[in-house]
Amino acid sequence: MANPFHNPASATIANLEAAFAVKMVSMAAKHTAPPLQRDRRMIMANPFHNPASATIANLEAAFAGESMAHIKYRYFAKLCREMGDEDTARAFEATAEQEVMHAFGHLDLLYPKARMSPAQALQFAIEGETHEYTEMYPKFRHTAVAEGNAAAVQEIDEQIAESREHAEQFKAVLEKAAKRFAALAKVEERHAAHYQRVLDQLA
């Protein structure tokens, strides 16, 4: 992001920008480019496509860009509203909603509905959140400490805690769903056995 408020050579700022981008594609944070690479390409952990495909990489980068624009415009709208400029705030919000639709369009190609499942979506989310609190944010925190950026350290500490909580929440949902499906399978098995006994009696 072209940000005039910070030193572009700061590794901490680059890491915060990378973290923001990763949150947009958190289903595969572990495949992001190095934090200091200015032209970052977010590569999702996606089993549906060839990871070497330039088109897929471009779609992933476009998804990250549209997603970041959506969040950034909503933030700008918040600032404008706080400053008393309602018209500009609404303009940003309207555009932000369009950016969401653009991002969904890219996701339709990257994660085809016909090939997805609730369990798969949860697993993608768990992998992303786990990577954030075990690898990404701890590394970013080390850099922030080295640069003496206390505000960034505090922000990163909060994100580590929240990412861990999110991963645990998704795991709980996945485990609950697995138990529910297992119970349904047993019910269906009993029904099938009952129907078979009736059929045998009629034969």
Question: How many structural domains comprise the chain?
Answer: 2
Q: Inform me whether the pLDDT recorded for 41 exceeds 50.
A: no
Amino acid at 170: F
Q: How far apart are CA 146 and CA 117, in angstroms?
A: 42
Q: Which of 46-60, 64-78, 109-123, 189-203 has the lowest mean pLDDT?
A: 189-203
Q: Are residues 22 and 103 in the same domain?
A: yes
Same domain for 141 and 111: no
- In this structure, are 18 and 107 located in the same domain? yes
One-letter identity of residue 86: E
User: In terms of domains, do 24 and 54 share one?
Assistant: yes
Query: What is the mean predicted confidence (pLDDT) over 112-126?
Result: 90
Distance between CA 193 and CA 131 in Å, rounded?
45
Reported as a pLDDT band with limits 50, 70 and 90, residue 30 is: very low
Specify the CATH number for the domain of residue 24. 1.20.1260
Same domain as 149, residue 105:
no
**Residue 136 DSSP class:** I
Task: Indicate the residue among 93, 116, 139 that finishes a domain.
Answer: 116
Residue 93 and residue 135 share a domain: no
For position 194, what pLDDT does the model report? 64
* CA distance linking residue 185 with residue 179, whole number of Å: 10
Q: Are residues 69 and 110 in the same domain?
A: yes
pLDDT surpassing 90 at residue 90: yes
Do 2 and 102 belong to one domain? yes
Residue 78 sits in the same domain as residue 10: yes
Q: Which of 75, 100, 116 is the last residue of a domain?
A: 116
Report, as an integer, the average pLDDT of 161-167.
96
Closest Cα to residue 60, out of 90, 52, 71?
52
What percent of the chain shows pLDDT beyond 90? 51
Tokens of 27: 């289903």
Degrees to nearest 5, angle at CA 3 with 70 and 145: 105
Q: Are 122 and 172 in contact (CB under 8 A)?
A: no
- 46, 28 contact by CB (below 8 A): yes
Q: Residues 177-200: pLDDT tens digits? A: 888 766 666 666 666 776 777 777
Average pLDDT over residues 17-28: 53
Q: What is the pLDDT of residue 4?
A: 55
Q: Report whether pLDDT(81) > 60.
A: yes
| Residues 111 and 164 both lie in one domain | no
Same domain, 9 and 58: yes
- Positive or negative, the Cα torsion across 121, 31, 133, 35? negative
pLDDT grade, residue 25 (50/70/90)? Answer: low
pTM: 0.65
Q: Are residues 73 and 145 in the same domain?
A: no
* Range of the structural domain that residue 186 is part of: 117-203
